[in-house]
Amino acid sequence: MLTLHGFPYSNYHNIVKHVLLQKGIPFEEHIVYPQTPEMLAVNPMGKAPSMTTESGTHLSESSVLVDYLEDAYPDKPLYPADADARAQVRQLMKISELYIELPARRLLPTLLAKVPADDKTVSEVRGVLTNGINSLNALASFSPYVLGSELTAADIYLRYVISVAQQVASAILQWDLRTEIPGLSDWSELMAGTDIAKKIDADKDANAKEFMAYISGLKKS
């Protein structure tokens, strides 16, 4: 059986977890935190998530894990059959990660510590986010899913990466991304209403206290 290593408070962990549940793949969830000996044993970068395949191979990086699951478990596909359409799914996944989630993540320490952010970082984050949002608006249809009538891996990826951007934009940039991305609100409600999303969200909430204790321990060490 597959083992997913990571923790439910991680949005990248939850991308892979959602794909596993969506495709109906049996797996074990091993709760482990970054840079611990347990995580380093399965991922030399010490980051979450990581996955151990049924053959015992250790893999890491969310996009790699999603691609692996699509290749190894082709039933209930989350990528279109057409090569161009598959590339469009991967394109949107990459853009949402590199130009929406990752720039917003730069302000997460400020958000968690509740301290003012420096103007230079705020300006840089806003600029990259603006470009990412413009690209998303050019590519996405939200009709009702992000790239059309069928749920794809792009929907799952976007749900969990944009959550960080929404938190940061609202709290630090005073910026409501729902007004910047037409169709985002209805799509978000659609995605959140599934049993899979509700389970993942509940698991995240249940893990919050333990994760914050882990973060607190890092600050003291």
Domain carrying residue 170: 83-182
Report DSSP state, residue 6.
E
Q: Which of 58, 77, 96 is the last residue of a domain?
A: 77
160 lies in a domain? yes
Tens of pLDDT, residue by residue over 173-201, are 889 999 999 999 999 999 999 999 999 99
Reference 106, options 173, 39, 188; nearest CA is 173
List, for the chain, all residue ranges whose pLDDT scores fall below the cut of 50: none
Are residue 60 and residue 29 in the same domain, yes or no? yes
Are residue 157 and residue 112 in the same domain, yes or no? yes
CATH number reported for the structural domain that contains residue 42 in this entry: 3.40.30.10
43 lies in a domain? yes
> How high is the pLDDT of residue 219?
63
> How high is the pLDDT of residue 113?
73
| Residue pointed to by tokens 């899913």 | 145
Structure tokens at 157: 């990826």
195 lies in a domain? no
Are residue 100 and residue 50 in the same domain, yes or no? no
Reference 2, options 69, 62, 48, 47; nearest CA is 69
CB atoms within 10 A of CB 41: 13
> How high is the pLDDT of residue 220?
63
Are residue 68 and residue 116 in the same domain, yes or no? no
Helices (H), ranges, the chain? 11-23, 37-40, 62-72, 83-96, 102-105, 108-113, 119-139, 153-171, 177-180, 184-192, 195-220
Q: Is the pTM of this model over 0.85?
A: yes
Q: How many domains does the chain have?
A: 2
> How high is the pLDDT of residue 12?
96
Are residue 63 and residue 101 in the same domain, yes or no? no
Are residue 69 and residue 11 in the same domain, yes or no? yes
Tell me how far the alpha carbon of residue 120 is from its chain's centroid. Answer: 26
CA distance 135 to 133: 5
Are residue 63 and residue 91 in the same domain, yes or no? no
With the CA atoms of 107, 123, 128 and 170 taken in that order, what torsion angle do they form, in degrees rounded to the nearest 10? 50
Backbone angles phi, psi at 18, to 5 degrees: -65, -40
Are residue 88 and residue 178 in the same domain, yes or no? yes
CA angle 92, 96, 102 (to 5 degrees): 150
CATH number reported for the structural domain that contains residue 99 in this entry: 1.20.1050.10
Are residue 158 and residue 177 in the same domain, yes or no? yes
> How high is the pLDDT of residue 218?
72
